[in-house]
Structure 1
Amino acid sequence: MTTSFVGRDSELDEIGTALTRHRLVTLTGGGGVGKSRLALRAAERLRGRYPDGVWWVDLSNLYDDRLFTSTVCDAVDLLDHNPRAPVEALAEWLTGRQVLLVFDCCERVLDSCHDLIGELLPGAPQLSVLATSRQALGVEGEHRVEVAPLSMDAGGDGDAVRLFRERCATAAPAVSLDSPGSADVVSAICRRLEGIPLAVELACARLRESSLTEMADRLGSRLDTLVDETVWPQRHRALRTAIGWSHELCSPIERLLWARLSVFRGPVDVSDARSVCAGGPLDAHDIPGLLDRLVDQSVLQRDGTRYRMLDTLCEYGAMWLAELGEDDTLARRHAEHYATVLAEADAGWLSDQQVAWYARISASHPDVRAALDHLIETDPDAALDAAGRTGLFWPCCGHLHESRDYLERVLALDTPESPSRTRALWALGITLTLQGDHQTALRVGEECASAARQDGTAQSGLFAAHTLGLTHLMAGRPQAAYDVSDEALTAHSTSPPSGAPQLCCMVIRTFADSALGRLDEAYAAAVGLRRLSLQYGEHWARSYAFHQLAFIDLLQGRAHDAERHARAMLASKHNLNDNLGIALALDLLTGANAVQGNGVEAARTSGTGNTFWRMLGHPGRGTPELAEVRDLWELQARNAAGGDAYDKAFHDALSDDAEHGLALVLHGPQPS
């Protein structure tokens, strides 16, 4: 999005009024007319109406319907740790909430939008939906607002001219628009571009190379020679002209990069673009400068350190990629690149780059999905290997339904027994356990153990022990969890550790020790695990070491130490964006506050923790031993604070935004 927003006051008022009378309002109009930007501004203006939040659902990176519902769940931070259908979880989450969901680019998955929104609205009476689409959704009760191009007043003071002047000042500040006759030329250009915002912005980006008069003449000649309107409808002609002209004025190497970048599903960084797009006349060393050139020409937008292409321009690039005959080649390169990214993330997990890799995989989520889809169709062995490597990242960060979907698909492929297959079974087993499907998880874990015995590698043995141990632990069988993890560590552990599965098994054995009441052994193991993880700079295992230290501190009467360790766990889990771990840490912090007599603070952390548990939909709210002491902590906190003060603090935190509540907890105790 650009930083300024020109005009649209009447449209904003119309949308605001419409949402008081209709629960579904759809902004329709052609590509580039400004539907997304208008919806974003309307959502910002209306935020105060919806106490339970305004949520943006970006559908622009979807290319089929299969991932639609999980994309919606991700957008509202519903990371459901439950095997039930995502639609059911979403409907339950919305019940009783006064929420505005904004669905952007619905034309990508029109049928799915129709079905889901049509199902959600009757079941969630306080839900409102604002959608953008090139055509209406066709849902009963839908109110449609046609988004017209920007106004073009006869006197040259319309919103299209205002936008042109603002973008010109940014793109070509040396160009004067105040010389005699300039106003008429600008008005003529805006009329030729029919007031379409994207067309205006693309034209302004060309003022570095063209004068106003040259631009007007060029646009006029192009409009006169456009294709038949049955191919490109009248209302799209000006946009097609502006995109085509912008494309024509790019150098051949810039056009090639534009086309090749269309293969990406989300924002890309320089390394992504180099790996996927370089080749032939396009040298990898030239790509950073070319990316900046495309930004200058409004073909790309900067998104932090990454680059994003608007959907309409991406479609144009994809059309040219097909014309060049490179679409299959680029899809293969794209898939191979993200398979390599997953392999590098896996190799870098046990290092001080672990947090960076979690962020990298999260930022690349749409492209990792697209890569897996391509590999499933074209290279089953590579698909199996890549999907298994998501097991260190996706389940931790809440993508459980997607994890299960992809892993079940790759395991159904005709592939030989191998360490990759064992690893995929491990990833599926932990996904099922975190969803609470312990029976299926146990079956998959036993299959994983059988596969590990067959392929005979130490890593496979540790992977199998981890998934079985986790299932036993979460199902309330700590002795079985201890036995399977201890046996694997005795047989396969190395010093230094051979990789992630060894630390995973060490975590299971430590948790099992404390669940069995062997607190001194568990505490010593947690101290050792913390020391080991600090040597590598990793956070995942360290956070669970802090969990055990905090839990045992609480059981043994060291509440101040428990608070310190719980806060350390919370910081690590926040770095990893691990919402399950955040919820567990908040529970421990609640206990530490309660035992110390900080009743109001305990109520606040409990309310924030419940917000995360509700978001997760976790059936057991963590490991079984925590469930046994939560009620005691609440009673202690309520007695310390007083019932009314406890209830107020708890419900204030519970009704707060999860991230805001977490930020307050991370900042430290709040004044009473």
Structure 2
Amino acid sequence: MFGEYSVNNNQAGSTGGEAGPGSGALPGNLPPESASFVGREKELGLLHHLLDERRLVTLTGVGGVGKSRLALRAVTGARRARPDGVWWVELSPLRDPALLTTTVAHAVGLADHSSRPLDEELCAWMADKELLLVLDTCEHLVAECRHLVGELLQSAPGLTVVVTSREPLGSPRETLFEVCPLPCEGPESDALALFRARALAATDEAAAVFEDPVRSAVAVEVCRRLDGIPLALELAGARLRLWTLEQVAERLGSRSEMLSDTRTALLPRHRTMRTTIGWSHELCEPVERLLWARLSVFTGDFDVAAARAVCSGGPLPASRVERVLAGLVAKSVVRCTEERGAGARYRMLDTIREYGHDWLEELGEVRITADRHAHWYAALSQAADRGWLGPGQVDWYRRTTAEHAQLRTALEHLLGSDPAAAVEMAGALWFYWFACGHVHEGRNFLERALRAAPHRGAAYTQALWALGLTTLLQGDLSTSRELGLDCTREAARLADPERELRAAHLHAVAVLMPGDPVRALELAGPRARAGHGGRTTGPGWLLCRLATGYALCDLGRYEEAAEEARALRDACAELGERWLRAYADYILAVAALGLGHHGEAARHVRAMLSGKRLLGDRFGIALGLDLLAAAVAALGDGELAARLLGTGHAWWRTVGRPQMGSPSLTALRDQGERQARAAIGDAAFEAAFRGGTAASTG
């Protein structure tokens, strides 16, 4: 029976298929392996032993040696031994150290909405969990990672951390594991096996090469010259699509002899890696080299439309970008992936991207390419804002989630180069900060943008309002009220009814949450909406209807609340919108519960939970589970109510503040608990509650 009401949130949170509370799947978000795994049996055995014995294991080694691949293979086998999951945090795209904790919290499913320091919340959230955390590619954030990992390990005795980095963290708890190149001597070496696998992936004709003992010996020599470094072997294997093995060996040899890097004294393995990448670079066509350099502005993965917009120009027209990109994929310079059915996405390994960025500097195009990147994603943010209240809402949620790393990079660049564009972009992403679980990050960007930008105009007012929304969810209600007043003044100066309605909503919720529904109704109710005269399908109007419904419920005026909610739901249905519509279902459920229509309340809240699951709205899911528990408790099913409250408790922990500190939400939750305890007794309630909590975590 519990399964009828459970919530699966596989769409929420981070990439890689995160399993949220109540999903029934193994918790975690491990990315798929990008290619077949070759060798490393001894290293895997040792790593499995270390993961059982040590709490902090750092895999070190040169770029391209396979640290991330080895870590992924090692921790994949550890999932069932970790009740609270194995969580992968990719730090390669992260450039702002201040966002490290936010990135880790989001990856593990903590969409914290409190105003407390996020590192404290993350430590508290992990304190009673048994999980394995992987921080991948930390060399540019060593000091910050060392501090955060130290805090987490001290707070959470059941936590194990795996780090991949070109250099150690320098933590006293750290066990270092050097990832060495693959053995490359002999006809059965792991290096040769990998070279063979990548050559066969490039061309079927490569099979004959490795069946001939003489030519196989040449392949062994290629592996030796490449020092057994996996990335170097992959790049060389890809060349067999166009060249013979002998040509690869000859040109690799001549390239090695010509190598001279006067900028830095490199260790042999670093020299080999840079030699191989430089060799691959020389073998590219001029337009491929140009695209390689320009693509280095992307952090994380990207799609072909972004590559076309950012990287075209001069000898590389937009019409040729996709074909040239395909050439780089064929040469293993760029990797092609697919993001949850959203179409092809591309990325470069850090070592290759760094080489491209060096060339972008040589070309003198760093600033102009970074500008184009930032303004492309700023335009994408504006389009997402326009499309949010419409039939493409779920698609926009998924797309902004996929582009998270690029949006960050764009905002960081604009904050330094174009503050007016930064404040416009940060404000346009209001729904992403407010509705999709990025409250801390959103507040950080919005505050920085508002400090830097001119204090006037529509973009400034929009960003003020967006900042107010983030402070609302954090429970910083005094700041929310101040921002509501500021927005009201700015909107009046602009004579913009839509912005006046948004300001009214912000102010109304800021007074409603601590318990003043009368004032909230004055600010957002029908009379206020008529006075502002805004568009009845705009965000401001719809959000004011939502606030009005909440206020009427708090006042016990359930018939009027249901009328507001039905009108809101109808408007959302006409728009094809889901996020606000789900909250309209929530108000209908609260109203039905208040009127004693308990079965109707349960039906409405199930509809609400279905909508919230699609958009990964953890706050909404937590709200809905409390309400569903109250409804089924009123129907007499105390055991199910207790289990739902247990699951709801786990979801509230992922947003940091149970019931958001709201008296009305706390009263509703307590009502469900009282009725459930009365129906089945304290002992049975506690057992069922624990069962719901346990089920929610895997």
TM-score range, shorter chain: over 0.9
Residue 642 (structure 2) aligned to one of 603, 613, 616: 603
**Offset from partner CA, 1:476-504 (integer Å, 9 cap, x none):** 1111111111254112344552x222211
Deviates more, 1:335-344 or 1:223-232: 223-232
Q: How far apart, in 1, do the equivalents of 2:601 and 2:661 lie?
A: 18
- Distance apart, 1:57 and its partner CA: 1.4
**Offset from partner CA, 1:290-343 (integer Å, 9 cap, x none):** 333322222222221211221111111111111111110011111111111111
- Distance apart, 1:157 and its partner CA: 0.4
Matching residue of 1:191:
224
Residue 334 (structure 2) aligned to one of 282, 290, 300: 300
- Distance apart, 1:250 and its partner CA: 1.9
Matching residue of 1:67:
99
Residue 167 (structure 1) aligned to one of 195, 198, 202: 198
Q: How far apart, in 2, do the equivalents of 1:510 and 1:204 lie?
A: 64
Deviates more, 1:181-190 or 1:604-613: 604-613
- Distance apart, 1:349 and its partner CA: 1.8
Q: Specify the code of the residue in structure 2 equivalent to 1:120.
A: L
SS of 2:239 mapped into structure 1: coil
Q: Which runs of 5+ in 1 are unaligned?
A: 661-672
Preserved CA contact (<8 Å) 2:370 2:413: yes
SS of 1:412 mapped into structure 2: helix
Q: How far apart, in 1, do the equivalents of 2:643 and 2:320 lie?
A: 53
Residue 273 (structure 2) aligned to one of 213, 223, 239: 239
Q: Which runs of 5+ in 2 are unaligned?
A: 1-32
Preserved CA contact (<8 Å) 1:385 1:424: yes
Q: Specify the code of the residue in structure 1 equivalent to 2:238.
A: A
Write out aligned runs for 1:164-563 (5 A).
164-175=195-206, 176=208, 177-228=210-261, 230-304=264-338, 305=343, 306-486=345-525, 487-494=527-534, 496-497=536-537, 499-563=538-602
- Distance apart, 1:30 and its partner CA: 0.3
Q: Specify the code of the residue in structure 2 equivalent to 1:287.
A: V
Runs (4+) of structure 1 moved beyond 4 Å?
638-646
Deviates more, 1:279-288 or 1:201-210: 279-288
- Distance apart, 1:105 and its partner CA: 0.6
Are 2:630 and 1:591 aligned? yes
Matching residue of 2:70:
38
Matching residue of 2:672:
633
Structure 1's 653 and 41: CA in aligned 2 closer, same or farther, altered over 3 A? farther
Q: How many residues align?
A: 657
- Distance apart, 1:228 and its partner CA: 4.6
Q: How far apart, in 1, do the equivalents of 2:223 and 2:687 lie?
A: 56
Are 2:78 and 1:84 aligned? no
Q: How far apart, in 1, do the equivalents of 2:40 and 2:679 lie?
A: 54
SS of 1:128 mapped into structure 2: strand
- Distance apart, 1:622 and its partner CA: 7.0
Preserved CA contact (<8 Å) 1:422 1:464: no
**Offset from partner CA, 1:368-387 (integer Å, 9 cap, x none):** 12211111112121111111
Preserved CA contact (<8 Å) 1:584 1:622: no
**Offset from partner CA, 1:130-169 (integer Å, 9 cap, x none):** 1111011101121101000112243x10111111122222
SS of 1:303 mapped into structure 2: strand
Deviates more, 1:110-119 or 1:644-653: 644-653
**Offset from partner CA, 1:634-669 (integer Å, 9 cap, x none):** 2433455565554444323323455x6xxxxxxxxx
- Distance apart, 1:411 and its partner CA: 1.6
Matching residue of 1:665:
none
Preserved CA contact (<8 Å) 2:234 2:332: yes
Matching residue of 1:127:
159
Deviates more, 1:91-100 or 1:319-328: 91-100
Supply the RMSD in Å over aligned alpha carbons: 1.9
Q: How far apart, in 2, do the equivalents of 1:645 and 1:324 lie?
A: 71
Deviates more, 1:239-248 or 1:105-114: 239-248
SS of 1:174 mapped into structure 2: helix
Are 2:95 and 1:56 aligned? no
Deviates more, 1:179-188 or 1:544-553: 179-188
SS of 1:206 mapped into structure 2: helix
Preserved CA contact (<8 Å) 2:292 2:356: yes
Q: How far apart, in 1, do the equivalents of 2:696 and 2:371 lie?
A: 41
Q: Specify the code of the residue in structure 1 equivalent to 2:36.
A: S
- Distance apart, 1:64 and its partner CA: 3.2
Matching residue of 1:115:
147
Matching residue of 1:8:
40
Preserved CA contact (<8 Å) 1:28 1:145: yes
Preserved CA contact (<8 Å) 1:461 1:488: no
- Distance apart, 1:625 and its partner CA: 2.2
Q: How far apart, in 1, do the equivalents of 2:106 and 2:184 lie?
A: 40
Preserved CA contact (<8 Å) 2:308 2:318: yes
Preserved CA contact (<8 Å) 1:567 1:589: yes
SS of 2:424 mapped into structure 1: helix
Q: Specify the code of the residue in structure 1 equivalent to 2:152.
A: L
Matching residue of 1:663:
none
Are 2:137 and 1:105 aligned? yes
Q: How far apart, in 2, do the equivalents of 1:502 and 1:326 lie?
A: 45
Q: Specify the code of the residue in structure 2 equivalent to 1:249.
A: L
